């Protein structure tokens, strides 16, 4: 426990001290002088601008898109997961954006990474540097909503970074022939020149296709191309680039460094002579374009180009990039950066980190015509760069020491027709200490010569836009050299070239490839994890099935669901023809438990839909057809009758004759059918349940499961009756009977007919998960080994694992499909496989797929000081960080902030679902089994606290008044009166900010003291 100095004298238990800052009912209008508010505003200000010069030697991540896990989960829940999503159509690599974001919202970061890396092998790099505002984000449908578009780049970065920390190797698609069985055409020699994004992408896809002799040649002594040398570490760390190259190397692709075109006889012709059958040219533009007025000026004169400046900065600041021990360029005073592209802004923000006190970005055109993406410009504005538009450098002045002292600019005037014209009459002379030219790049002459027989004109190569093929049939190219300057465009160039190189190479050996490109997806050993399970004689390929509900309204829907990957399906419940139904409308509504949130992600739905309107004949004929197409899928026919032996046995025989794998007896429909003596009317009585199961057992040679209702006092009694009646297992549980909404005018919803009448309906969705989970666990503990098919609120792999640990063998899903569509099952499959795989690793401090948080350097440096992130305290944090950066080696400082990764090797066998079945049951029991001697208390992590005081308020008005609130820092202060109730943790908006730790002193409950009758009358008002 800790206390601020001003509270040290407070007596614990002094309720006036505890409630000093607690909300009170307002009795009068607020009266505070403006002068007082101005002072307070400065004290509490969190968004105060920090000038770029304070960033000297500080290469911490500055991307505004970067997200913590909390931020990623919040942002991903906003995504609409649109049909025919424009965001995907706007991505050069066609990332399945909605699917990877859906995985993130379910804490399935492996699944998200799998979707991303399948289409973009540099998915982490692109998540960090992609100009998303002009690509995927630019097409987001939420641009038309008040809250704005989704932060797609930040989500992409978060998921792939989390996957990186899992340290799982890439493998080829296990369904493809192994390398040893591929023909010799896959052993042809292939050379890729330049180890940048285009070549890494091309090499990755060639490796996935099975090519076994692919080599990338890189001119530098480090890998990554311009991603390493020219993008600063605060936007793209070298470890990110290395991670993606290592993933490529997992596929057998080799990288040779120190090989530059045109140097020591290394050329395209020499590669051809060395036996390379196909070559991909993925080099960057290595020569800067320099305005003639700067000819003859050197770095000693204060003149840099982006090609000389950024590599020096990165070598000195990116850990692991090289062993050259470079030093940052030593800048000071005023730096002018020429150009308005992304590279120019990288130079500008890097200049601050090299000592510049002021940076001006000068460019020829208007702001609206800048080539840089808004993300880059915004960072420069936030760091207080100055901007000089319409400025073309015309003269440079040097002092007596030969160092730059002034730059003169002429006005580049915009005309009425949108063109620009130089006006030499308008000039501006600006004092400057350094100039960094970022006016573009071209190809070096010796590289042009070494590319023969390929022609390079104007610094670039002409290629086929679709295939990446050049005029020379065995040479392909992509990236900067063909005019596609963004990383993601380069990645796609390499991707598409890989397929057409594959086609060329196979045809070269007389073999054919499919006419439509079929590039393999991203795979790892996780995808080989077995998630099948046997339930009695039934073998489920995976535990995910569709519940007997609206996703199974027709057999055609089940067919599509099986194609999407679902392991089993339960038909919509059908009955005898005499019991056919006709539904009312409206009948399926969003539940009220989500509050005033709309769109996908509803926590519940309520329905008053009856059983299937289709006949038994329809269902039986289609079950036969489905089994013929999907023999390995499990089909369970759901049937319902009134309490009649004849009816149940007749319908059972009809259903069994169609050839399903099992039956489900619907004894639990909570609305409509009960009034007909069916469903709930049967399922609430153990005698009726036992009888019905006996009747079905007499005539059914296949397994059957009784579907139970939660609308009973003790579901174990009903499950026991089903078992005694001969059921092979139970489905637990059906929907919960509810009344959802009554509007202000007293009309209920759903309102049916002109009279606007309603009835009690069944609530589904994750709002009922705790009810279903309790039912499953209680049945599993009561009837060990009795098979349970769980249903009720399963919407993720995490939720599935909860039910498996509670004793369920498989799960049935409905509401999650309401919120999305059938392909969501892939999220669950990837997620469950990864969760099982990680159990075979030493994942100490991990929570499923959630990596432990990495403390920022400033948090480690403040040495116990209570420094929240506002006002003067924020400035103190920045000062501590700045002092440390200036006193220590940049590379060592940056290396300390590299997140840890799991070991690549497994430490145990990967568990099966059967091995996880009921794993939590021995810890679930009666209240009397709980230990009231081993208590916990709340512990607040100041570095995560956002000073909102929610814990303080809830403890006061709903708990035990055991938290004080510091008026100076707004940190909550837990007192020894804490009883460990955990309410504070439950309302805290920041995950892991509050943890419950063992109590170190004995817990003595405060029993209270008797009060006089006038006790409260005598209290101060």
Question: Mind telling me the catalytic residues?
Answer: 669
Tell how strand 334-338 and strand 276-281 pair up. Answer: unpaired
Q: How far apart are CA 695 and CA 687, in angstroms?
A: 12
CA distances from 845 to 311, 716, 852, 854, 900 (A): 37, 36, 6, 11, 12
Nearest alpha carbon to residue 93 among 182, 191, 201: 201
Distance CA 340, CA 313 (A): 20
Q: What is the DSSP letter of 967?
A: T
3-state SS class at 154: helix
With tokens 């200000």, the residue in question is 45
**Please, what sign has the CA dihedral across residues 446, 447, 448, 454?**
positive
- The Cβ of residue 466 has, within 10 Å, a number of other Cβ atoms equal to 10
- Asked if 259 contacts 178 with a C-beta cutoff of 8 angstroms, the reply is no
User: In the beta sheet, which residues pair with residue 963?
Assistant: 974
Q: Say if CB 615 and CB 577 are below 8 A apart.
A: yes
HSE-up of residue 418 (Cα within 13 Å, Cβ side): 2
- How much of the chain is helix, strand and coil, in % rounded to 5? 40, 15, 45
Instruction: Give the C-alpha separation, 284 to 286, whole Å.
Output: 6
- Using CA atoms, how far apart are residues 176 and 186, in angstroms rounded to an integer? 13
What is the total residue count of the chain?
Answer: 1021
Q: How far apart are CA 325 and CA 73, in angstroms?
A: 40
The two three-digit tokens of residue 135, written as one number: 């690509």
Handedness of CA 975, 978, 983, 985 (dihedral sign): positive
Q: Which two tokens stand for residue 599?
A: 């769109």
Q: How far apart are CA 216 and CA 597, in angstroms?
A: 51
From residue 32, alpha-carbon distances to 181, 333, 788, 965, 980 in Å are 81, 43, 64, 22, 39
Q: Could you give the CA distance from residue 494 to residue 488 in angstroms, rounded to a whole number?
A: 10
Neighbours of 534 (CB within 10 A): 12
Cβ count within 10 A of residue 686: 19
Strand, coil or helix: 9:
coil
601: nearest Cα among 770, 396, 824, 451: 824
Query: Which residues is 822 bridged to in the sheet?
Result: none
- Residue 265 makes CB contacts below 8 A (sequence gap 6+) with none
In whole angstroms, give the CA distance from residue 312 to residue 78: 41
Please give the radius of gyration of the chain, using alpha carbons only, rounded to the nearest integer.
Answer: 34
Q: DSSP for 460-495, please give it.
A: B----TTT-B-SSTTEEE-GGGGT--SHHHHHHHHH
Strand runs (DSSP E) across 739-782, as ranges? 741-742, 748-749, 761-764
Tell me the C-alpha distance between 541 and 633, whole Å.
7
Residue 69 pairs with which residues in a beta bridge?
A: none
CA distance to 522, 796, 825, per residue, from 111 (Å): 11, 11, 11
**For 89, how many CA atoms within 13 A lie in the half-sphere containing its CB?**
8
């Amino acid at each position: 426990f800790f206390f601020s100095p001003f509270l040290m004298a407070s007596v614990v238990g002094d309720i006036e001290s505890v409630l000093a800052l607690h909300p009170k009912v307002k009795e009068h209008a607020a009266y505070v002088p403006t002068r007082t508010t101005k002072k307070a505003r400065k004290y509490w200000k969190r968004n105060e601008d920090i000038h770029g010069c304070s960033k000297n030697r500080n290469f911490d991540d500055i991307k505004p898109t970067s997200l913590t896990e909390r931020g990623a989960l919040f942002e991903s829940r906003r995504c609409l997961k649109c049909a025919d999503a424009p965001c995907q159509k706007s991505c050069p690599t066609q990332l399945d954006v909605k699917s990877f974001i859906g995985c993130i919202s379910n804490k399935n970061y492996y699944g998200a990474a799998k979707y991303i890396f399948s289409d973009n092998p540099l998915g982490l790099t692109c998540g960090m540097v992609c100009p998303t505002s002009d690509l995927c984000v630019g097409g987001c449908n939420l641009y038309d909503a008040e809250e704005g578009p989704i932060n797609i780049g930040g989500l992409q970065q978060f998921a792939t970074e989390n996957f990186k920390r899992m340290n799982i190797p890439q493998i080829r698609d296990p369904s493809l022939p192994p390398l040893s069985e591929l023909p010799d055409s896959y052993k042809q020699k292939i050379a890729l020149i330049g180890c940048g994004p285009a070549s890494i992408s091309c090499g990755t896809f060639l490796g996935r296709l099975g090519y076994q002799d692919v080599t990338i040649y890189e001119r530098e002594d480090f890998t990554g191309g311009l991603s390493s040398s020219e993008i600063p570490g605060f936007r793209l760390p070298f470890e990110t680039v290395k991670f993606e190259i290592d993933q490529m190397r997992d596929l057998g692709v080799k990288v040779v460094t120190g090989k530059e075109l045109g140097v020591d006889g290394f050329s395209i012709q020499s590669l051809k002579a060395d036996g390379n059958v196909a070559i991909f040219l993925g080099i960057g533009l290595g020569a800067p374009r320099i305005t003639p007025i700067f000819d003859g000026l050197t770095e000693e004169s204060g003149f840099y180009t982006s090609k000389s400046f950024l590599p020096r900065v990165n070598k000195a600041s990116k850990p692991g990039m090289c062993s050259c021990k470079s030093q940052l360029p030593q800048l000071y005073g005023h730096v002018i950066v020429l150009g308005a592209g992304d590279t120019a802004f990288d130079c500008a923000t890097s200049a601050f980190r090299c000592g510049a006190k002021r940076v001006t970005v000068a460019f020829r055109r208007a702001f609206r015509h800048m080539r840089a993406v808004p993300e880059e410009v915004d960072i420069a504005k936030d760091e207080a760069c100055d901007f000089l538009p319409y400025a073309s450098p015309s003269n440079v002045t040097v002092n007596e020491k030969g160092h730059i002292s002034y730059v003169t600019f002429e006005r580049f005037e915009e005309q009425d027709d949108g063109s620009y014209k130089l006006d030499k009459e308008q000039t501006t002379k600006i004092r400057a200490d350094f100039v960094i030219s970022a006016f573009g790049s071209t190809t070096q002459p010796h590289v042009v010569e070494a590319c023969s027989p390929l022609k390079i004109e104007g610094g670039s190569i002409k290629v086929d836009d679709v295939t990446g093929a050049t005029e020379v049939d065995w040479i392909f190219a992509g990236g900067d050299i063909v005019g596609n300057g963004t990383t993601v465009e380069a990645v796609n160039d390499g991707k598409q070239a890989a397929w057409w190189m594959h086609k060329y190479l196979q045809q070269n050996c007389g073999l054919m490839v499919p006419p439509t490109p079929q590039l393999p997806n991203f795979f790892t050993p996780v995808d080989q994890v077995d998630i099948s399970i046997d339930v009695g004689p039934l073998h489920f390929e995976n535990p995910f099935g569709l519940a007997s509900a609206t996703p199974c309204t027709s057999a055609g829907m089940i067919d599509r669901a099986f194609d999407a990957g679902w392991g089993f399906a339960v038909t919509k419940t059908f009955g005898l023809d005499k019991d056919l139904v006709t539904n009312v409308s409206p009948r399926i509504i969003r539940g009220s438990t989500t509050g005033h949130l709309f769109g996908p992600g509803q926590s519940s739905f309520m329905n008053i839909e009856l059983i299937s309107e289709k006949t038994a004949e329809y269902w039986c004929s289609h079950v036969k057809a489905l089994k013929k197409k999907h023999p390995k899928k499990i089909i369970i026919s759901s049937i319902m009758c009134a309490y009649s032996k004849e009816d149940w046995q007749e319908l059972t025989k009809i259903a069994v004759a169609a050839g399903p794998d099992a039956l489900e007896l619907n004894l639990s429909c909570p609305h409509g059918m009960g009034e007909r003596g069916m469903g709930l009317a049967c399922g609430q009585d153990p005698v009726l349940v036992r009888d019905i199961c006996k009747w079905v057992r007499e005539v059914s040679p296949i397994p059957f499961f009784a579907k139970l209702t939660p609308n009973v006092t003790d579901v174990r009694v009903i499950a026991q009756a089903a078992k005694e009646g001969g059921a092979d297992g139970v489905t637990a549980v059906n929907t919960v009977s509810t009344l959802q909404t009554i509007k202000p005018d007293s009309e209920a919803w759903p309102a049916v007919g002109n009279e606007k009448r309603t009835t009690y309906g069944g609530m589904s969705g994750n709002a009922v998960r705790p009810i279903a989970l309790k039912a499953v666990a209680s049945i599993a503990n009561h009837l060990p080994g009795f098979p349970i098919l769980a249903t009720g609120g399963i919407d993720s792999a995490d939720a599935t694992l909860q039910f498996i640990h509670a004793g369920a063998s498989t799960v049935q899903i409905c509401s999650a499909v309401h919120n999305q569509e059938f392909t969501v099952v892939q999220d669950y499959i990837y997620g469950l496989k990864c969760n099982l795989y990680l159990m075979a690793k030493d994942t100490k401090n991990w929570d499923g797929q959630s990596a432990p948080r990495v403390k920022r350097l400033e948090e480690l440096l403040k040495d116990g000081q209570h420094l929240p992130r506002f006002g003067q305290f924020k400035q103190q944090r920045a000062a501590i960080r700045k002092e440390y950066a200036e006193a220590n080696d940049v590379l060592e400082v940056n290396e300390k902030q590299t997140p840890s990764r799991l070991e690549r090797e497994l430490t145990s066998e990967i568990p099966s679902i059967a091995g996880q079945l009921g794993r939590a049951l021995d810890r679930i029991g009666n209240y009397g089994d709980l230990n009231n001697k081993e208590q916990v208390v709340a512990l607040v992590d100041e570095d995560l606290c956002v000073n909102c005081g929610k814990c303080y308020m809830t403890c006061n008005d709903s708990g035990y008044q055991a938290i004080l609130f510091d008026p100076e820092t707004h940190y909550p202060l837990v007192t020894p009166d804490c009883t460990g109730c955990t309410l504070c943790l439950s309302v805290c908006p920041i995950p892991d900010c509050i943890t419950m730790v063992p109590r170190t002193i004995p817990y003595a409950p405060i029993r209270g003291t008797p009060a006089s009758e006038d006790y409260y009358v005598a209290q101060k008002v």
